[in-house]
Structure 1
Amino acid sequence: MQVFSTIGLTGKPDDAAVTDTIQRIADHLRGRGCTVIVDGRTVPDHVAGDCERTGATPLAERVDLLVAIGGDGTLLTAAHTVAGSEVPILGVNRGRLGFLVDVSPGDFAEIDKVLEGQYTADDRMMLSAELRDGEGRVLDAGIALNDVVLHKWHTARMIEFETWIDGQLCNQYRSDGLIISTPTGSTAYAMSGGGPILHPDVDAMALVPICPHTLSNRPLVISAGSHIEIRMPGDQMAQIRLSCDSQKNLEPVPGASVHVRRHDAPVHLLHPPGYQYFDILRAKLRWGDGHPV
């Protein structure tokens, strides 16, 4: 018996390998009797042309499972599509590293097992970011599965800001920015910045400064229940941007502050049978290559 019967398909736009995989998966799913709904924002009109096409909001409301075909960036987009819903995501790897998309593009047996309920469920925390004015009113907001990044914009100079955690001053930075990472994002930009790898089960966030002027400014791991506030001088606002998973950019204005905390709802990922987190790390980071035991 199939656990999932109405399947959404989304993928990386303008990628021939991805569109070919989407077409083959759509044909396979329909052959199993599934209803297939294609994300019209990312899948060209000529691909899976016999399937219904829809946009982001109806897609999250109508499917039992969303299959994301591409790389980790594609899965991040999918996470934003279904955020706040109970729709799980299955990632099919047509990218490069693929920490999150772990189904082989030609292995329909893995997909079939997931459809039949043979999978590993994996809930991942998300972050909520808000720009607030001096009165505490929300000016703009975004969510992130990987990270919220404060970074310099249109300048080679460092930016200055303060971080406050749960109302207490943590640090005063002069740097190129700050990465606030979930455990999921700890193997992405944060890792490139020298941050720690956090196991997905760890209930924490990592603050990783980007090229800090003071070398003693090291990455900091804090509770996922913490409230992070970033205060910035008003005369620097034109040189600062806030990015949520590189999916949405927020533009601070004079008098604004940034507030980051855990999002109310996690994203639900599914993995095929046999999934092991440390297997993924060894394979993607090439741990142990050339050093047999």
Structure 2
Amino acid sequence: MSKPSTGTPEEQRDRRVLLTVHTGRRDVVALAQTSAARLIRGGIGVKILEDEAPDLDIPGAEVVPCDESAAKDAEIVMVFGGDGTFLRAAELARYTDAALMGVNLGRVGFLAETEPEAVEETLSAIEDCEYSVEERLAIRVDVLDRAGTVVGGTWALNEVSVEKAERSRVLDVVIAIDGRPLTSFGCDGVLCATPTGSTAYAFSAGGPVVWPDVEALLLVPTNAHALFARPLVTSPNSVLTVAVPADGNRARVSADGRRTVEVPDGGRVDVRRAGRPVRIARVHSATFGDRLVAKFGLPVRGFRDARHAGPGHELFTSRNVLDREVVDVDGLDAGGTTREVSGGGTYDDA
């Protein structure tokens, strides 16, 4: 993790921030406009993408093509949107030294650094260079044909999904780690994920949550027809191979849900650590554990908060997920019938 230097006054005047915005929502556009205006007033140049420029209409902003040169000379790529917008921005920042900083305006926004109500604090941190930069492991993907010739490739920040091309058929795969066959099964697909992506598609498929500063690769089968098809966590230097038999179903690769590559009949997909990490800027001191609790609404009250009703009886509080009120056994009278509890809710006799 590194922290940028404040630099000389001349260097400060040359600072630039690229905005990437979910322009389909009016409130997102308005927040991006006010943020851009503040950065410009503070002497920081603002760049916007040419396909977003008409919707943003930001006076004084530099309009740039939406390609690999967009983030050139940018210090920060500031993202206004959800994780989908963030992943799009990662494509633009991929081959530059720009760090990604997200403002969550989506539903979960696990990749974002801040919520809309803390934007002013985030902008102040950018102006004063008071942020740190995390380097997140990314993965490189090579698609090979039956002869072992590389015929395509891509990269991902979250995950690569090797998935069946025909929904009505099962995808047969052979899994190998570091060139050694491990197992084979039929499935809907196989996910190869980074620690950053462990809370995305891989999480939904039953994979483990891995802290982002842990260097590792994940392999998670999806809907496998097998007794041994467990998620695997390997060395960050391993090569994960998903081979597709020539007589099996057609397969394709989806990277971060944004880029696709077809897998030839009898081909294979090799996944390894990318040579270049993705840089993510952080302002707040919240840990990854804090993010898990906040994003997933995890209960943090444990057995030590249990209520005791006599020897041998531990009566735990429970949460009514419909009205989000905490109810407990005090809501039951001696006869086991329902009576009113604090907050106006009721506890129904099971």
Shorter-chain-normalised TM-score: which range?
A: over 0.9
* Residue equivalent to 2:164: 152
* Residue equivalent to 1:173: 185
- Aligned-residue offset at 1:44: 4.4
- Aligned-residue offset at 1:147: 0.2
The answer to whether the 8 Å contact 1:26/1:48 transfers is no
1:265 to 276, 288, 296: 276
Cα distance in 2 for partners of 1:45, 1:211 equals 44
Residue correspondence of structure 1 range 62-211 to structure 2 within 5 A: 62-106=73-117, 107-211=119-223
Cα RMSD of the aligned pairs, angstroms, is: 1.9
- Aligned-residue offset at 1:275: 2.9
Secondary structure of the structure 2 residue equivalent to 1:234? coil
Identity %: 30
* Residue equivalent to 1:16: 26
2:296 maps to a residue whose letter is: L
- Aligned-residue offset at 1:274: 2.0
- Aligned-residue offset at 1:189: 0.8
The answer to whether the 8 Å contact 1:11/1:70 transfers is yes
- Aligned-residue offset at 1:92: 0.7
1:213 to 222, 225, 246: 225
Residue correspondence of structure 1 range 224-263 to structure 2 within 5 A: 224-238=236-250, 240-263=251-274
Cα distance in 2 for partners of 1:286, 1:135 equals 49
Is 1:27 matched with 2:45?
Answer: no
How many pairs does the alignment contain? 291
**Which ranges in structure 1 are unaligned for 5 or more consecutive residues?**
none
Q: Structure 1, residues 5-32: CA drift from partner, whole Å, max 9, x if none?
A: 2110002242222222211111111111
1:277 maps to a residue whose letter is: F
Cα distance in 1 for partners of 2:229, 2:292 equals 27
- Aligned-residue offset at 1:237: 5.0
The answer to whether the 8 Å contact 2:245/2:267 transfers is no
Cα distance change of structure 1 residues 290 and 90 upon mapping to structure 2, 3 Å threshold: same
The answer to whether the 8 Å contact 2:166/2:249 transfers is no
- Aligned-residue offset at 1:2: 5.4
- Aligned-residue offset at 1:155: 2.2
1:285 to 293, 296, 300: 296
RCO (CA 8 Å, sep 6+): is it higher in 1 or 2? 1
Secondary structure of the structure 2 residue equivalent to 1:81? helix
Cα distance in 2 for partners of 1:216, 1:154 equals 24
The answer to whether the 8 Å contact 2:137/2:278 transfers is yes
The answer to whether the 8 Å contact 1:127/1:143 transfers is yes
Secondary structure of the structure 2 residue equivalent to 1:199? coil
Cα distance in 2 for partners of 1:68, 1:236 equals 41
1:53 maps to a residue whose letter is: V
Q: Structure 1, residues 9-63: CA drift from partner, whole Å, max 9, x if none?
A: 002242222222211111111111111000223x241413421111222222131
Cα distance in 1 for partners of 2:301, 2:179 equals 48
Cα distance in 2 for partners of 1:289, 1:200 equals 21
Cα distance change of structure 1 residues 28 and 2 upon mapping to structure 2, 3 Å threshold: farther
Cα distance in 2 for partners of 1:224, 1:48 equals 44
Q: Structure 1, residues 188-238: CA drift from partner, whole Å, max 9, x if none?
A: 111111100001111111111101111431111111110122211223353
**Which ranges in structure 2 are unaligned for 5 or more consecutive residues?**
306-350
1:70 maps to a residue whose letter is: G
Secondary structure of the structure 2 residue equivalent to 1:59? coil
Secondary structure of the structure 1 residue equivalent to 2:97? coil
The answer to whether the 8 Å contact 1:37/1:53 transfers is yes
Question: TM-score normalised to the size of structure 1?
Answer: 0.93
Q: Structure 1, residues 219-273: CA drift from partner, whole Å, max 9, x if none?
A: 11111110122211223353x2210001101111224221110110101101113
